[in-house]
Chains A and B, each alone.
Chain A
Amino acid sequence: MNVWNWLAVGGAAVLALVVVAEIRRRTGARASGRRFFRHPTAAPAVFVLAFFVTVALAAPLVTPYQPYFQIDIARLANHPPSTQNPLGTDPLSRDVWSRLVYGARISLGIGAIAMLVAVTTGVVVGGVAGYFRRWVDATLMRLVDVGLAMPRMFMLLMVVALWEHVPLAVLVLLIGLTGWFGTSRLVRAEVLSVREREFVAAARALGAEPGRVIFRHVLPNAAAPIIVSAALGIGNVMLLEAGLSFLGLGVPSPAPSWGNMIADGFPKMAVAPWCATFPGLAISLVVMALNAVGDALRDALDPRKETA
């Protein structure tokens, strides 16, 4: 790792600090913003997330090697952390730090995209069910019951294992499509309660179309619980991906996802503990940050606390 890499990492940290400060400044005027940052873990959590995202985006700048590059299989395999390889090297003499950074792209990307798919599906299904009620609602909610009764990990394993060579994009889609059931229930409940309020009736009386009414009036009111469940959901997806990869059924092997790296390092735990430890720490840290942000958001966006 050369001077420029170190400087870039430092730059990423500074940028993350600036992001935290900026968010705090912009939301400081609102009570919800103050409630968010009153959580002792909220600011560090935002920092962690901003740091990992920055580093992942700027991967070529902060890493000395390509993630697949084998530096010197004869002399630099299983090398402990040093200034050259800050997190050590793996059995194939690849730089763990470089793999970790490129792995952030994959792991965070999977988490974000799968959650986006899940939230979108959940919002649409929940919104439709809550708005049209009657048989539409009944049918969709039975579907959700079935979805919740399926063990998610098990179903994913099944699909991935039985259909050989599942591309990454399909895997992400699958994770997303098995993760919307809870969100849809949440949105439905929110829609059911919001649609009883006067302003929805008023909008309909003025001749607004049903779909328009939902998206313009109902969803903003249901936004808070959706955002919270999304924040917590990304963490879940990342853990799921790690689990699948650990069983050898997630992201295909040479690609450096964090789960993959743990799986690869697992047998070498006694010789080269850094191979599995650092990616594990990275997952824990990011998921913890997501959980902390989710908790803080829950408090910040809780409408019951608005008056307190």
Chain B
Amino acid sequence: MAAWLVRRLAASIAIVWAVVTLTFLIVHLAHGSPCGQPDGLPVSPAICADLTRRFGLDKPISTQYYKYLGALLHGDLGWSIALQRPVAAALAEALPNTFALALTALILDFALGVALGVYQAARERRFGDIALGNVALFVNSMPTFWLVLCPQVHAFSCVADFAWHLTLPALTLGLVGAAGTARYQRAAMLEVVRQDFVRTARAKGLRERRVLLRHALRNALLPLITLFGLTFPFLLTGAVLVETVFAWPGMGRLAVTAILQRDYPIVTAAALVASVMVVLGNLLADALYGVADPRIRVRAT
């Protein structure tokens, strides 16, 4: 168990390092400097040169890389050029917002998705299943930002309070997610329902509800854990579009703004956070598997 954990952690750190390095390379090999923003005001060459020197952008890339890694190891994420404040502070401000959004969306996603999927599987090929299946397919096929156009126009400017502002983006993310989750859950349930042990449960004289919700669902939730591991980081970082459309001050918007402003330190830090989330999502999924599936629980100990 301990050896397994150490191996997993080492692999995780290696992945994060690789993503950070790749991001660093992409950012630093790109032409264009923070002074030459396409939509910014013209900056005098003197100030630009000063900025370039101050942020060490004139040094060879290898020197910059080692300096960056060294600082990173000390927990220093750097200084944002555009925001004129420490990157860590900007992240600390954006992350809770993103967490609030992601958590709400995640709960909605899985609660609704699982319920719908189970319902559909129980009514396979009947009206309820087919109708819901097509609705889910449609929602799942829409560009997320397009889905939000309609409520945006009418309702968004009215209320300014946090909860209400959270509602729309969370609803959007949650609904789109739920549509996908429902499809996944339905397929998983149908797969399980055909298995022999479900027949055994029926032969015992259990109610259909108990057969489905206890015997079948417990098994059909296992593949969903993988989906959860994939969704978790997506909601934290991949909500770029929804955060931008709703002007939600989270990680996604921070990253997009930073990219557009060529604010390198924030961009690399955002990539770091994103990859950490992916790795965390994977670890979380593995841990959940260990708890939920006795076959794995035993092997791991």
Contacts and interface: CB of A to CB of B under 8 A. Distances in A.
B278 A247 contact: no
Interface string A5-42: 00000000000000000000000000000000000110
Interface of A: 40-41, 142, 145-146, 148-151, 153-155, 157-159, 161-164, 235, 239, 242-243, 246-247, 259, 262, 266, 269-270, 276-277, 280, 283-285, 287-288, 290-292
B30 A162 contact: yes
Interface stretch (B115-123, B201-209, B212-220, B269-277): B269-277
Given A235-B141, A283-B143, A266 B26 contact: no
A269 B245 CA distance: 13
Contacts of B260: 161
Given A154-B271, A270-B153, 19 more contacts: A145-B11, A146-B19, A148-B278, A150-B275, A153-B241, A154-B240, A155-B271, A157-B259, A159-B26, A159-B30, A162-B30, A164-B31, A164-B38, A243-B143, A243-B144, A247-B256, A262-B143, A269-B152, A287-B142
Contacts of B153: 269-270
Contact of A158 (B18, B145, B259): B259
Contact of B19 (A142, A149, A259): A149
A152 B98 CA distance: 18
A246 B143 contact: yes
A141 to B, nearest CB: 11
B241 A246 contact: yes
Contact of A155 (B18, B26, B31): B26
Chain B contact residues: over half helix, strand or loop, or mixed? helix
A158 B26 contact: yes
Contacts of A151: 233-234, 237-238, 271, 274-275, 278
B137 A162 contact: no
B71 interface: no
Contacts of A280: 142-143, 146, 149
A163 B143 contact: no
A-B pairs, top 9 by smallest CB distance, nearest first, are A162-B30, A288-B141, A287-B141, A280-B146, A149-B278, A146-B18, A151-B274, A242-B143, A161-B259
Contacts of A163: 30-32
Interface of B: 11, 14-16, 18-19, 22-23, 26-27, 30-32, 38, 130, 134, 137-138, 140-146, 149, 152-153, 233-234, 237-238, 240-241, 244, 255-256, 259-260, 262, 267, 270-271, 274-275, 278-279
Contacts, number: 127
A132 B93 CA distance: 48
Contacts of B143: 239, 242-243, 246, 259, 262, 280, 283-284
B130 A266 contact: no
Nearest to A285: B141
A246 B274 CA distance: 22
Secondary structure at the A interface, as helix, strand, loop or mixed, is helix
B141 A162 contact: no
Contacts of B130: 40
A266 B255 CA distance: 22
10 contacts: A40-B130, A149-B15, A153-B240, A157-B256, A162-B30, A163-B30, A243-B240, A262-B145, A270-B153, A283-B143
Nearest to B268: A158
A41 B256 contact: no
A243 B145 contact: yes
A291 B241 contact: no
A41 B193 CA distance: 23
Nearest to B230: A148
B138 A162 contact: no
A162 B261 CA distance: 9
Contact of A41 (B16, B137, B234, B279): B137
Nearest to A262: B146
A287 B176 CA distance: 14
Contact of B241 (A161, A162, A243, A284): A243
A220 to B, nearest CB: 25
A162 B32 CA distance: 7
